[in-house]
Chains A and B, each alone.
Chain A
Amino acid sequence: MDCAVIQGDLLAYHFAVAAAEERARIEAHLLECTTCLRAYLALKAHVERTDEAGKGPSEESRLRLRAAVEERFRPTPGRRLRRWLARPIPRYQSLAVAAAVILVAALAPAVSRQLGQRATADATGRVDTSRTTAESLSIY
């Protein structure tokens, strides 16, 4: 296999635009030819810029950004409260709360009626302690 032909196809191979047959042909060649394999690895490193060690963002820039993130997202009581209020509530919890509210609303009239009746009974059976005479005990 002609190395020049293979190396001419390495870009298409790298960017995965080579046809399946062409890919298979290139891969078979790369397994056998160290020169072309080296050329491919060098091309890949260059295209992906992994051969540019030390050309990343500066340490000062990283620290500046880190400080900004820390400042922006540092937990404070106010932020904790806002986060707690904005937290997503699971559906089953919402359903349970709704069911409890409906139950209370449904039972409220009956309970209030019962409480009213008990209050009336208490009022009629109350001993009048303001009177000192035996009349105050007329109930008996």
Chain B
Amino acid sequence: MDSDEILYARVKQGDVSAFDELYARHAPRLFAFLRSQVPSAADAEDILHEALLSTLESREVTFDRACFRTWLYRIARNAALNRARSRGRGDAALGNLPEEPPAPAADEQLAHAQRMHALDVAVSRLPGALADVYHLRSSGLSYEEIAEVLNIPLGTIKSRMHQMVGALRQELGTWTAQ
């Protein structure tokens, strides 16, 4: 299986099948990450489009320090921040409130749906810096990649991860207890 960086080079040579593979690998998780950053699915799709094209076209993208995925998330996050800024943070925050849990079929499903809804609410209340590490880590990025994307030291990421889990635990209380 070709690495992301090899696929990237193949796309630049005009190989669209390499793009299909890159898209299948990264688009679903990147889209989910973007959904946590912008209010609507349409916005997330636009930014996904913009970020993938920019990553492929940019002359600044080199892989000596950061891998393809790091570049992709860095560019996508910046695009999402720009869009949120241009539309006003209030709208974005409003749009990111988690939806009500769907009506479950059984008691166990109900309990599960409620717990997950509580988790979503707790995540939506995290401060921006902690929400960033939650969403990037949930997208499968390593601590090192998160540090590159956010352009902050690795030690700060580790400390924020602890703070983030602590904040969620505090917010959730005994949500997990049955």
Q: From A52, A55, A57, A68, give the contact of B27 (CB < 8 A).
A: A57
Q: Complex: how many Å from CA A70 to CA B15?
A: 8
Q: Complex: how many Å from CA A11 to CA B61?
A: 34
Count how many chain A residues have C-beta atoms less than 8 Å from C-beta atoms of the other chain. 37
B161 and A69 contacting across the interface, CB-CB below 8 Å: no
A74 and B14 contacting across the interface, CB-CB below 8 Å: yes
Q: Complex: how many Å from CA A66 to CA B23?
A: 9
Q: Complex: how many Å from CA A115 to CA B60?
A: 53
Q: Verify if A25 is at the interface (C-beta below 8 Å from B).
A: no
Kindly list chain B residues whose C-beta atoms are within 8 Å of the C-beta of A94. Answer: none
Q: From B29, B52, B137, B174, give the contact of A49 (CB < 8 A).
A: B29
Most chain B CB within 10 A, of A3, A17, A69, is at A69
B16 and A69 contacting across the interface, CB-CB below 8 Å: yes
Q: Verify if B119 is at the interface (C-beta below 8 Å from A).
A: yes
Contact with B along A44-59 (1 / 0, CB 8 A): 0011110010011110
In the assembled complex, 16 residue pairs joining A and B whose CB atoms fall closer than 8 Å, in A order, are A4-B174, A8-B174, A11-B165, A15-B137, A42-B116, A47-B119, A48-B29, A48-B140, A55-B32, A57-B44, A57-B45, A62-B27, A65-B23, A66-B23, A69-B56, A72-B53
Q: Verify if B68 is at the interface (C-beta below 8 Å from A).
A: no
A75 and B13 contacting across the interface, CB-CB below 8 Å: yes
B176 and A56 contacting across the interface, CB-CB below 8 Å: no
